[in-house]
Amino acid sequence: MAGDPVVDSPAVAEAGAQQPDPAGVAGARTPPTAADAPPNAAVPVIPEAVPGSAAPAASDVSDGSDGSDISDISDISDISDISDISDVSGVSGLSGVSDVPTRQGPSGAPSGGPTLAAPVNSARVLLASVFLLGTLLTLLGSVLPVWGYHRLDEFVAAGNHFLLLGVGFLVSNVFAARSATRYARFVYSPLPGAAMALAGLLVFAFLPPPFPVQLQLAGAFAIGLAMGALNAAIFQQFGALAALRSSTAFHLASVFGLLGAAITPLAVALVVTPSNSLALLVLAPAPLLVGFTLRAGHRTAPPQLSDRSLREALADFRSPPAVLLTLLLLFQLGNEMAMFGWLPVFLIQRLGVSPATALYGLATFSLALLAGRVAVQAMARHALRNRLVLSGLAIALLGCSMLAVTNNLFGALLGAVLCGIGFAPIYPAALELIGRRFPYFHPGVFNSIFSIGFVGALLAPWSLGLLNHTLGIQTVMVLPIFGLLTVALILGLLWLEAKLTGGLR
């Protein structure tokens, strides 16, 4: 009734506190009293709570001012907890917001930036870039027989192509290091490297001998620029994508690179040798593949800074283990580049086989190296690294010795297979040692280590050109034997340093 007094009880106070503010203004939510009502105004009646009974529902409260009730307010007295509320991450109706995972930093914490789709797409661009780099590794070794250098005995001129290749690689890396802050998007994109690779390939295809040798040297320089640009872009992508910073990812990338290294001599043997150098255009899809992945939306990940400054990382780079690791890469990559560059010419000069057969020998070496890398990765969990590396060194020495003394094709192919299998565990062991020595992965330091090692490795086929001119073609196998012995010495020094300092196990 309008004139009944208002009951002020705990239950009533609680019910009053849960009522919404009609005016939308936050204020004290206390039940109205008769004293607060203006003259002649109706006061809402709240039934008295009976001990032992439930509190009155909001629907039982009526507003006497207009004779209407607020029964549309739901009863919330029975809601005890909200633990049954479902996860809202799957709700798709919140203005288009979807459940998209964020990229994680090196420590596993979200760091913002691209979502999961970005690393996946960038990984495709990364693998396409590594594949292109692999095709360029064996390009000069494949075209030298096509250009007739096995007949001309101009080994110095042939070696100069590898010298220009190394100079181009060095120039490209120096430019990338000096322009990274201002033109980061351009420097760390694989598109410039793919464009220069295509330009060098066009020079090789349309301007082969008997055109002036300076034109082929310019093509080799362009290929070197492409390799340096691709190398810088590849390591930057590894640094930007935290999910790819693992030895497995490096091994997978090396598999794609060796696949490209095997495809180049096979393509040249099947297509180019029966016709002419114009058929080198069969390799054009390799650089075009990189451009296609970029145009298809597979963008590269943005450059990402390391948690260490470059000065701190370079201080570690000047340590004795880092220097030894750089020398390890220099001599081992030199061994592989000596085989990539001169094995076909060696087989032609030594055994008198056709250029196509010699290129099949180079492809055999590349495929054996690829199979060995896959086998090493499969056996890494079941065999000790030291035993794998020592076994690989012994097998590689046996293969190089067979190539040096053989006089038949079967012995040469068997020696190439043994060399490939023996070389296989050394590079992964170097990667593992580098990963343990530099766990924070600074792209600049990794690129520096591999660039110095690779520039030194490109000096191996150039020096072979000089040695072949002076001492004969048999020095092609003498240099890898010397390199393998040096690699064994460096590995022994690294393991000794690890035992003394306890840095590596």
The contacts found for 408-411 with CB under 8 angstroms, 24 or more apart, are 408/351, 409/351, 409/353, 409/357
Q: For the beta carbon of residue 463, count every other beta carbon within 10 angstroms.
A: 17
Q: Looking up tokens 């310019």, which residue turns up?
A: 218
Inter-CA distances, 286 with 140, 188, 289, 290, Å: 16, 19, 5, 7
Structural domain contains residue 50? no
Torsional sign, CA 411, 412, 413, 419: positive
Phi, psi angle pair for 183, to nearest 5°:
-125, 55
pLDDT score of 336? 93
Q: Which two tokens stand for residue 366?
A: 């590349």
In a domain, 380, yes or no: yes
Count of structural domains, the chain: 1
Is residue 83 domain-resident? no
Q: Kindly report, residue by residue over 344-392, the tens digit of the pLDDT.
A: 999 998 898 998 999 999 999 999 999 999 888 888 665 667 788 899 9
User: Computed from CA positions of residues 225, 227, 229, 231, in that sequence, does the dihedral angle turn out positive or negative?
Assistant: negative
**Tens digit of each residue's pLDDT (9 = 90 or more) over 206-248:** 999 889 999 999 999 999 999 999 988 887 777 655 555 556 6
Could you tell me what percentage of the chain is helix, strand and coil, using 3-state DSSP and rounding each to the nearest 5? Answer: 65, 0, 30
Residue of 111, 181, 174, 168 lying closest to 139 (CA atoms):
168
How far, in Å, CA of 233 to CA of 373, rounded?
A: 23
> pLDDT value at position 14?
42
Residue 455 lies in a domain: yes
Dist CA 369 CA 335 (whole Å): 12
Residue 114 DSSP SS3: strand
Q: What percentage of the chain reaches a pLDDT higher than 90?
A: 33
Q: How far is CA 475 from CA 92, 374, 463, 464, 495, in A?
A: 68, 30, 10, 7, 30
Distance CA 186, CA 263 (A): 29
Say how far apart CA 423 and CA 235 lie, in whole Å. Answer: 23
Say how many residues make up the chain: 505
* Spatial contact of 172 and 224, defined as CB atoms under 8 Å apart: yes
pLDDT for 294-309, tens place per residue? 765 545 555 444 444 4
DSSP-derived pairing of the beta strands 102-104 and 110-115 = antiparallel
| Alpha-carbon distances of 477 from 132, 373, 472, rounded to whole Å | 27, 22, 11
Q: Using DSSP, state whether 215 is helix, strand or coil.
A: helix
The number of beta carbons lying within 10 Å of the beta carbon of residue 169 is 25
For residues 184 and 177, give the distance between their C-alpha atoms in angstroms, rounded to a whole number: 10
CA pair distance 248, 421, nearest whole angstrom: 19
424-439: pLDDT as tens digits = 999 888 877 777 766 6
CA neighbor of 142 nearest in space, from 78, 209, 188, 204: 204
pLDDT-derived band at 196, boundaries 50, 70, 90: very high
Does the pLDDT of residue 84 top 90, yes or no?
A: no
- The mean predicted confidence, pLDDT, of the chain is 74
Termini Cα distance of the chain: 89
Residues 6+ apart with CB under 8 A from 339: 362, 365, 416, 419, 480
**CATH code, domain with 487:** 1.20.1250.20
Structure tokens at 66: 């207009």
Question: Between these two residues, 36 and 412, which has the higher pLDDT value?
Answer: 412
Q: Does residue 431 sit within a domain?
A: yes
pLDDT grade for 342, boundaries at 50, 70 and 90: very high
3-state secondary structure of 420: helix
Peptide bond into 210 cis (omega under 30): yes
The pLDDT of residue 100 is: 35
CA atoms within 13 Å, Cβ hemisphere of 419: 31
- The answer to whether 287 touches 225, Cβ cutoff 8 Å, is no
Residue 192 counted as domain residue: yes
- Using only the alpha carbons of the chain, give its radius of gyration: 36
Instruction: Give the rounded distance of the alpha carbon of 439 from its chain centre.
Output: 15
Backbone angles phi, psi at 424, to 5 degrees: -55, -50
Burial 28-48 (b: 16+ CB within 10 A, else e): eeebeeeeebeeeeebebbee
Helix pair 475-501, 443-471: axis angle to 10 deg: 150
Most confident of 206-210, 444-448, 493-497: 206-210
Please choose, from the candidates 96, 94, 115, the residue with its C-alpha nearest in 3D space to the C-alpha of residue 104.
Answer: 115
Which of 216-230, 319-333, 443-457 has the lowest average pLDDT?
443-457
Other residues' Cβ atoms within 10 Å of the Cβ of residue 379: 14
Residue 150 lies in a domain: yes
Domain that holds residue 161: 119-501
Work out the average pLDDT over 134-139: 94
Tell me whether residue 214 is in a domain: yes
